[in-house]
A = this chain, B = another copy of it.
Amino acid sequence: MPLGPSFPELASLDLFVSVVELGSVSRAAAAHGVAQPSASSRIRHLERQLGMILLERSPSGSIPTDAGVVVAGWAEAILRSAHELKAGLQAFQAEQSGRLRIAASFTIAEYLLPQWLGRFARAHPGDSIALEVANSTSVIERLHDGGADLGFIETTSPLTDLDEHLVGTDELIAVVAPAHPWANRRTVPVETLAATPLVTREAGSGTREALEAALAALDLGPPTAILELGSTSAVRSAVLDGNSPTVISRLAVAAELDAGSLIEIEVKDLAISRSLRAVWPRRNPLPPLAVQLLDSLTI
C-alpha cells in the first residue's frame, strides 16, 4: 500500500532531525547546504503536513516541542534505513575499486547485508566497500579468481578450499494470509501442502528448486502453481491479499510474521533450512577490513 500523498519527504525529515541535533534552523540549513529561509520554510511546511508544532523558536535557537522530540525519534529510524541503503548503494557502485570486495548471494544481499553494511559504514567512514550480487556458485567463483575478498552464501553442500564462518540461518517456511483456512490450524501434513496449488517463484529459481527437491525426497511430486511470479516481493504481496499459500524464505517475511499480516504454517516432516556462511579463500590472508566486518557480525 502506498504511503499517501502528503507524507513528508526524506529531505524534510532529515533537515528536521538536524535542527533537533544542532539546536538551530540556521545551523541545520548550513549543514544541508541550503539558505536559512529555505530551511525555515521547509520546516514550516513539514509542520503543516503533520498538523503539529515541532519546534519552539526563539532568538537563541530552536528546540523541539514534546511532539517534536517524539517525531524526531521516529524520523531517525527512517533515516537509519536510508543510510543503510546509501551504504549498500555505494558498495554497489564501487564495484572494482573498493578496499574490500564482497560477493553475496541474493537473499543475503537483500535482507541482511544492508543492515550489516550500514552499521559498518558508519563505524568505518572513509573505507570503501564493493558489493557484487550473484548466485552461490558465482560467488565461489569470484573468490577463486580473486574478484572478491569475502563471500556470503547460503548453501548446504560442503565447501572445498574455502574457510567459512556461520553468520546465520535461513529456512523455507509455508505462510498464508490470516483469512486463509489454514491460519487457524497452524499445521498441515506435507501431503496436503504438496496437493495444494501454491503461489510460487518462476521455475528455476532457487527457492522453488529447494522446495521441489525436498518434496521429491519424500516421494512427492512438485506442487502445482496457481500463480507464478518473478520476484519474492511479488509472491509476498500476492499471498498477502490472496488466498493461496506459498513457501518462502523466512527472512523475506520476517516483518510480516511479526506484524501478524502473514501466518506461518508448520508442515509436518518438511524442514528446508540453509546455513548462511561467510566464506573466503583458505590460502589468501583475509584483508583487515574483512576481519573487522566479521568481528562486527559475531558480537
| Interface residues of A, Cβ cutoff 8 Å to B | 2-5, 7-11, 14-15, 17-18, 20-23, 31-33, 50-52, 63-64, 66-67, 69-86, 88-89, 92-93, 106, 109-111, 114-115, 118-120, 122-123, 133-134, 229-234, 236-237, 255, 258-261, 296
In the complex, the count of this chain's copies comes to: 2
Could you list 26 examples of A-B contacts with CB < 8 Å? A3-B82, A4-B86, A7-B82, A9-B11, A20-B233, A21-B234, A21-B237, A22-B237, A23-B229, A51-B93, A67-B133, A69-B231, A70-B88, A70-B110, A73-B233, A74-B81, A74-B89, A77-B84, A77-B85, A77-B115, A78-B78, A78-B85, A80-B255, A81-B81, A119-B259, A120-B259
Most buried by B among A21, A73, A231, A232: A73
Most buried by B among A64, A232, A233: A233
Distance in Å from the Cβ of A128 to the closest Cβ of chain B? 15
Name the B residues within 8 Å of A14 (CB-CB). Answer: 2-3
Q: A118 vs B231: C-alpha distance in the bound complex, in angstroms?
A: 25
Q: A73 vs B79: C-alpha distance in the bound complex, in angstroms?
A: 16
Other than the given A69-B231, A71-B85, A74-B89, 19 more pairs (CB < 8 A) read A2-B14, A3-B11, A3-B79, A3-B83, A7-B10, A23-B229, A23-B230, A23-B234, A51-B93, A69-B232, A74-B81, A74-B85, A74-B114, A75-B85, A78-B78, A78-B82, A119-B259, A122-B259, A122-B260
